Structure 1
Amino acid sequence: MEALFQSYTRLLNSVETKHYRYLYHQIDWSNRLIGIKGARGTGKTTLLLQHIVENFSDKSKALYVSLDNIWFAQNTLLDLVDYFQAHGGTHLFLDEVHRYPNWSVELKNIYDSYPDLYVVFTGSSILEIYRSNADLSRRAVTYHLQGLSFREFLNFENNLNLKPFALEDILQNHQNIAGEIIAKIKVLPEFKKYLEYGYYPFYKEGIKVYPLRLQNVVNTILENDLPAVENIEYVTVHKIKKMLMIVASLVPFSPNVAKLSAEIETNRANAVRYLDYLQKAGLTINLMSSKKGMSLMNKPDKMYLDNTNLQYALAISGVNEGNLRETFFANQMNGLHQMSASKQGDFLVNDKYLFEVGGAGKSFKQIKNIKNSFIVVDKTETGFGNKIPLWLFGLMY
C-alpha cells in the first residue's frame, strides 16, 4: 500500500500545469462517478493529476492509482477503498481500469456502498460502459478525450490563447478568423509540424523518437488494451495488426471485405468486427454513407487512419498529401459532428454540409450548384466565400 502512495506523490511532483487539455474545463468534477475514455497517449493521466494539483490543498484527501500496478495482483480495489476512506480519503482517481478484472462490478459496488467517496476512472476508448458487466451507464457520467487539436498545438507551441470556434462560425466567418490568427503567427509551417507529430501530447518528450513511441503505442493498444476489453486471443490480435497495416498502406480505403477476409485468413463477420475494433481503439475512422444505418454487420464505405501522425508512423511507402488532407479533416471533425461518406464530395457533415477537400487549386466542379457545399483547401492562409483553408478546421476544440 505504501508503494502506491509513494508513486502518487512522485507523479504529482512531476506533473506539468502550464497547459491544459480542452476537456479539463468541460468536466463537471462534482459528480460522484466520472469516466474518461480515450485512445492511449492522449493525456488522460496528466488530466487527472492536474486536477488533483489544482484542487486539493490537502493531497491526502485524493489518491491517483493506475490499476495495472502490480499491487493489484494480490489485492483488490475494494481493499484499497476500505483503507483509503478509513484514513480520510474522499476522492479516488483510477487509471487504466480496463486492465483490472471485473472493474465495472467493483466500481458499481463502490458507488453503492461508499456514498461519500468520489471516483474518477479512465479507460481505453474501446470500453463500452453500457455493455460492461455492471452497466455503469446509469451511474457514471462519461467523457471522451481526443488527441490534441491544431488549436491546442498552436497554443502549446506559441504561448497563445486561441479559443475554439464552432463549425458554423468557421463556415460563415472564416476570413476574419484566419486574419486574426495569421497576424499573430506563421500558421502554415506550424500546420506542417502538427500533421507530422502534433496529435499526441507526448511529442514534447522528444520529436526524434516520436515515430517509434507511436508505433509502440499502437502495439500496446492491440496487444494489451484490446484483449483486456474484448477477450480475444493472440492469433486474432495478429490478424488485426495485419489488417491495420493493409489499411495504412491504402487509405483512404474502401474495404472489399471478401478480399480483406482472405488476406487475413478469417471470415466476413470477423473481418467486419475487426474493422470496428480498430475504430473503437482510436486507430481508424470508419465512415458509412448517410443512407446506410449504423450496424456492426455493415462494412464502412471509407476508412482513414485516425490521425495524420499515424500515417507518418505506419506508412511504409511514404505519405501522400491528398491522404493527409482528408485524414486531418476527418480527424478534427470526428467526435464533434456526425460524418458520413459522400459520392458527390468527400464528406457529408450533419447531413447538411458537403465538403470537398483538396489542394490550393481545387475547384467547385465536383460539387457545383449543391447547397451548403464547401471547398476545403490546403497550403492556403486565407480563403474566400465557400473556399476555406484546411487548417481552420483544426480550431473546433
Structure 2
Amino acid sequence: MEKLWSQFYDKYARVQTVHVRDFIHTIDWENRFIGIKGSRGVGKTTLLLQYIRLTFESSQKVLYISLDHLYFLENTLYDFVYDFYKKGGQFIAIDEVHKYPNWAIEIKNIYDDMPHLRVVFTGSSLLHIHQAKADLSRRVVMYTMPGLSLREFIQFETQLKLDYYSLQDLLDNHIAIAMELVQKIKPLQYFESYLDYGYYPFYLENKKSFHQKLSEVILTVLEVDIPQYAAIPVSNVLLLKKMLAVISGSVPFKPNMNSISERTGISLNTMKNYLKLLSDAQLLQLLHVEEKGINSLGKPEKIFLNNPNLMHNLSAKADKGNLRETFFFNQLQYNHAVFASRTVDFKVDHTYEFEIGGRNKKQKQLEACPKYFVVKDDLEIGVQNTIPLWLFGFLY
C-alpha cells in the first residue's frame, strides 16, 4: 500500500499544469460518482492528476491509483478503498478500471457503502456502462473525452485563449468568426501540423517520436484492450490487424464485406463485430446512411480512420482529400450525428449537408439541397455558404 501512496506523490509532484485541456471544465466535479472514458492517448490520466493538483493540496484525504498496478493482482480494490475511507479519505481517482476484473461491481459497492467518498474513475473508450455487470447507469455521471480539437492544439502551441462555437453559430456567422480569429492567429499555419500529430496531447512530450508512440498505442489497443474487453482469442488478434491494414490502405473505405472477408479470412458476422470494436476503440469511424443509424451493426456506407493522425501513421501516403473528410467527420462526430448523404459528402444532425473539397471545389451538385454548405481547404475566410475547413476545428 505504501508503494501506491509513493507512486501518487511522485505523479502529483511531476504533473504539468501549463497545458490543461478545456475538457476539465466540462466535468461537473461536484458529482460524487464520475466516470471518464476515452481512447488511449487522449490524456485521461493527465487530466485526473491535473485536477487533483489544481484543486487539492497533497494530503491523506486525496489519492490517485491505477488498477494496472501489481498490488491489485492479490488485493481487492474494495478493501483498499475502504481502508482509505476509514482513515479519512474524501476523494479517490481510480485510473484504468478496465484492467481490473469485476471493476463495475466493486465500484458500485464502494459508491453504496462509502457515502462521504467522492469517486472518479477512467476507462477505455470500449466501456459500455449499460453492459457492465452492475447497475452503474443510475449512479454514475459519464463523460467521453475526445482527442484535441484544432482549437485546443492551437491554444497549446500559442498559449492564447480561443473560444469555441456551436455549429449553428458557426454556420450563421462563419465570416465574422473567421475574421476575428485571423486577427489573432494564422490558422493555416497550424492546420497541417495538427493533421500530422495534433490530435493526441502526448505530442507535447516529443514531436519527433510522436508516430513511434502512436504506433505503440495502436498495437496496445489491438493486442491488449480489445481482446481483454471482448474476450477475443490471442490467435484472432492477427485478424484484427489484417482488417485494420486493409481498411487503412484505402480510406475512406467503401466496404465490400465479401471482399474483405476473402482478403482477411474473417467470417461476415465476425467482421461486423470487429468493425464495431475498432470503432468503439476509436481507431475507426463508421459512416452510416441516415436510415440505419450510427449504432447499427449493418454495413456502413464508408469507413474512415478515426482521425488524421492515424491516417499519417497507418497509410503509406495520406491523400489530401481523404484527410479533409476525416478531419471534418472527426471534429463533428463528438457532439453531432453525422451520416452519409445521398447527394454530398456528409449530412449532419439530419438537417445540414456538407460537401468537402479544395479551394476550387464547385457547387453544382448542391443546388438541390435546401441547407447545404461547401467546406474548403486552403481558405482563411469564407463567403456566403462556403466555409473554411479549419473552422470546424473550433466546435469544442
Whether TM exceeds 0.5 here: the answer is yes
Superposed CA deviations along residues 260-283 of structure 1, whole A, max 9, x for unmatched, are 122221211110110001110011
Deviates more, 1:238-247 or 1:380-389: 238-247
Name the counterpart of 1:55. 55
For 1:262, give the aligned amino acid.
E
Name the counterpart of 1:44. 44
What is the CA–CA distance in structure 2 between the aligned matches of 1:241 and 1:189, rounded to whole Å? Answer: 35
Name the counterpart of 2:245. 245
Within 5 A, what are the aligned runs for 1:241-390? 241-294=241-294, 296-316=296-316, 318-390=317-389
Q: Find the residue that maps to 1:60 and give its secondary structure.
A: coil
What is the total number of aligned residue pairs between the two structures? 396
For 1:48, give the aligned amino acid.
L
For 2:136, give the aligned amino acid.
L
Superposed CA deviations along residues 320-344 of structure 1, whole A, max 9, x for unmatched, are 0000000000000012101101120
Superposed CA deviations along residues 82-104 of structure 1, whole A, max 9, x for unmatched, are 22112211111011100101100
What is the CA–CA distance in structure 1 between the aligned matches of 2:11 and 2:46, rounded to whole Å? Answer: 9
Structure 2: where are the runs of 5+ without partners? none
* In the alignment, structure 1 residue 197 sits paired with structure 2 residue 197: yes
What is the CA–CA distance in structure 1 between the aligned matches of 2:28 and 2:165, rounded to whole Å? Answer: 21
For 1:96, give the aligned amino acid.
E
Shift of 1:59: 3.0
Q: Find the residue that maps to 1:137 and give its secondary structure.
A: coil
Name the counterpart of 2:10. 10
% same residue: 47
Q: Find the residue that maps to 1:322 and give its secondary structure.
A: helix
Deviates more, 1:11-20 or 1:378-387: 11-20
* TM-score between both structures, scaled by the size of structure 2: 0.98
What is the CA–CA distance in structure 1 between the aligned matches of 2:63 and 2:100, rounded to whole Å? Answer: 17
Contact conserved, 2:306 with 2:326, CA < 8 A, in 1?
A: yes
Q: 1:375 to 1:296 in 2, by over 3 A?
A: closer
* TM-score between both structures, scaled by the size of structure 1: 0.98
* In the alignment, structure 1 residue 391 sits paired with structure 2 residue 390: yes
For 2:17, give the aligned amino acid.
T
Superposed CA deviations along residues 202-256 of structure 1, whole A, max 9, x for unmatched, are 0011111111110100011111111221111112222111111111111111111
Superposed CA deviations along residues 301-328 of structure 1, whole A, max 9, x for unmatched, are 1111000000111112x11000000000
For 2:359, give the aligned amino acid.
A
Name the counterpart of 1:160. 160
What is the CA–CA distance in structure 2 between the aligned matches of 1:221 and 1:267, rounded to whole Å? Answer: 22
For 2:31, give the aligned amino acid.
N
Q: Find the residue that maps to 1:116 and give its secondary structure.
A: coil
Shift of 1:289: 0.3
Contact conserved, 2:82 with 2:110, CA < 8 A, in 1?
A: no
Contact conserved, 2:276 with 2:297, CA < 8 A, in 1?
A: no
Q: Find the residue that maps to 2:137 and give its secondary structure.
A: helix
What is the CA–CA distance in structure 1 between the aligned matches of 2:289 and 2:194, rounded to whole Å? Answer: 29
* In the alignment, structure 1 residue 178 sits paired with structure 2 residue 191: no
For 2:302, give the aligned amino acid.
K
Shift of 1:138: 1.1
For 1:351, give the aligned amino acid.
H
Name the counterpart of 1:89. 89
For 2:135, give the aligned amino acid.
D
For 2:59, give the aligned amino acid.
K
For 2:354, give the aligned amino acid.
F
Contact conserved, 1:38 with 1:146, CA < 8 A, in 2?
A: yes
Segments ≥4 residues shifted beyond 3 Å: 293-297
What is the CA–CA distance in structure 1 between the aligned matches of 2:156 and 2:295, rounded to whole Å? Answer: 39
Shift of 1:58: 4.6
What is the CA–CA distance in structure 1 between the aligned matches of 2:297 and 2:307, rounded to whole Å? Answer: 25
What is the CA–CA distance in structure 1 between the aligned matches of 2:72 and 2:292, rounded to whole Å? Answer: 45
Contact conserved, 1:272 with 1:296, CA < 8 A, in 2?
A: no
Contact conserved, 1:221 with 1:281, CA < 8 A, in 2?
A: yes
Contact conserved, 2:34 with 2:140, CA < 8 A, in 1?
A: yes
What is the CA–CA distance in structure 2 between the aligned matches of 1:148 and 1:226, rounded to whole Å? Answer: 23
Shift of 1:179: 1.0
Shift of 1:192: 0.9
Structure 1: where are the runs of 5+ without partners? none
For 1:40, give the aligned amino acid.
R
Shift of 1:56: 1.3
What is the CA–CA distance in structure 1 between the aligned matches of 2:135 and 2:263, rounded to whole Å? Answer: 37
What is the CA–CA distance in structure 1 between the aligned matches of 2:368 and 2:298, rounded to whole Å? Answer: 31
Name the counterpart of 1:78. 78
Name the counterpart of 1:217. 217
For 2:167, give the aligned amino acid.
L
What is the CA–CA distance in structure 2 between the aligned matches of 1:54 and 1:206, rounded to whole Å? Answer: 24
Taking only aligned residues, the RMSD between alpha carbons, in angstroms, comes to 1.1
Contact conserved, 2:38 with 2:144, CA < 8 A, in 1?
A: yes
Shift of 1:357: 0.2
What is the CA–CA distance in structure 1 between the aligned matches of 2:37 and 2:191, rounded to whole Å? Answer: 27
